[in-house]
Amino acid sequence: MNNQGTYAGIPNKYGVKETAKIVLIPVAYDETSTWGKGADRGPEAFLEASENMELYDIETDTEVYKQGVYLTQPLEEYLTPEDMVVNVHDVVKTYLKRGKFTTMIGGEHSVSIGAIRAFNEEFKNLSVLQIDAHADLRAAYEGSPYNHACAMYEANETTNLVQVGIRSMDYSERLVMNEDNVFFAHEMASDEYWMDNAIDALTENVYITFDLDAFDPSVLPATGTPEPGGLMWYETLDFLRRVFSEKNVVGFDIVELCPHARSQASNFTAAKLYYKMLSYKFLDDDTSIDDETIIKEDKQPIRKLKEEIYVNNEN
């Protein structure tokens, strides 16, 4: 995987490491997944989709990229899962020490282990909000505690873990989970207060780990282990906007995009989700649109949709 310049093709001045408020770390890793392979190609597909995304967010009336988004070199090519976790931890910790709002795009869900460990060391009384179809609470799987099926075990032991959208798990995971903090998908379907209750379960500082299989496959099919009965798009955005509004979200990751040629929409959905989450985080900052400035600058849009010339040949 190659670094594709700036995130989403934003002007270079908004992608400078020293001045950007936001850091995006791609982790191209997929060594322990057990069914649909290809999550290591997720970051590249995500970045390519981001290049073709409009950067004005209608809902929030903002252009959050103006906060500055620094895209790091991808993290990839590890000998062992433990090497990956240690490296992700160290890189994330470096940017947290610099005061950056640090985000990550995976890669399989095990990439979150090192990131959560770093955030937990930096922020007191941390909650981890896991939005996911799977519990991921095994202590070890296939001989490793750093398997994707173990992604949340350490967080469950060391942080306040709140799990949303769960609809697939092994019975052994039920023995270690805190069911007061678990919102099962089948219960959410008939509980109009699940968002209130999930937010109430969170402490002030929140790290979000978003596994894309939390979505219903009708929304995003291109993931390694799709499960029926998942979250819908606007339902998800409503919940996320409330979390960002009511809590101090200190960082987040998005994982498990498993791109394939017949589901380009999934790549774009992941790209839009990331940008929406940034827009919610920096909603109170001044990135709203000034019509007069746009007129004075007479500028062309940075993005987006590539123009195509259609030639009609009349024979």
R_g of the chain computed on alpha carbons = 19
| The predicted structure's pLDDT at residue 314 | 40
Domain residue limits at 180: 20-297
Amino acid at 19: T
Give a yes or no: residue 312 inside a domain: no
Percent of the chain at pLDDT above 90? 78
Mean pLDDT of 103-120: 96
Tokens in use for 182? 């678990």
Distance CA 312, CA 65 (A): 39
Give a yes or no: residue 2 inside a domain: no
**This prediction's pTM:** 0.90
Tokens in use for 155? 């967080």
Mean pLDDT of 157-172: 97
Going by pLDDT thresholds of 50, 70 and 90, the confidence category of residue 310 is very low
Q: In the Cβ-directed half-sphere of 72, how many Cα atoms lie within 13 Å?
A: 20
- At 17-50, the pLDDT tens digits run 999 999 999 999 987 565 556 788 999 999 999 9
Distance CA 270, CA 49 (A): 8
The three-class DSSP label of residue 131 is strand
- Return the DSSP state at 72: P
| The predicted structure's pLDDT at residue 36 | 52
Is the Cβ–Cβ distance between 214 and 203 less than 8 Å?
no
Which of 5-9, 77-81, 221-225 bottoms out in mean pLDDT, i.e. has the lowest? 77-81
Q: What are phi and psi of 142, to 5 degrees?
A: 55, 40
Burial class for 18, CB neighbours closer than 10 Å (0-12, 13-18, 19+): exposed
Give a yes or no: residue 251 inside a domain: yes
Mean pLDDT of 124-151: 93
Give a yes or no: residue 305 inside a domain: no
| The predicted structure's pLDDT at residue 34 | 56
**Total domains, the chain:** 1
Is the Cβ–Cβ distance between 39 and 257 less than 8 Å?
yes
Give a yes or no: residue 273 inside a domain: yes
Give a yes or no: residue 26 inside a domain: yes
| The predicted structure's pLDDT at residue 33 | 60
Q: What is the DSSP string of 232-297?
A: -HHHHHHHHHHHHHHSEEEEEEEE-B---TT-HHHHHHHHHHHHHHHHHHTTTSS-B--HHHHHHH
pLDDT of 284 above 60: yes
Contacts of 219 (CB under 8 A, 6+ apart): 230, 231, 232, 233, 269
pLDDT of 93 above 80: yes
Distance CA 266, CA 219 (A): 8
The three-class DSSP label of residue 139 is coil
Give a yes or no: residue 15 inside a domain: no
Give a yes or no: residue 7 inside a domain: no
Mean pLDDT of 208-214: 98
**Closest C-alpha among 24, 46, 151 to residue 95:** 24
Is the Cβ–Cβ distance between 57 and 279 less than 8 Å?
yes
pLDDT of 288 above 90: no
Mean pLDDT of 161-174: 97
Which of 25-34, 51-60, 177-186, 281-290 bottoms out in mean pLDDT, i.e. has the lowest? 281-290
Distance CA 111, CA 91 (A): 12
Distance CA 309, CA 311 (A): 6
Is the Cβ–Cβ distance between 266 and 226 less than 8 Å?
no
- Return the DSSP state at 151: T
pLDDT of 142 above 70: yes
CA dihedral 165, 170, 171, 174 (to 10 degrees): -40
Q: Domain of 249: which CATH number? A: 3.40.800.10
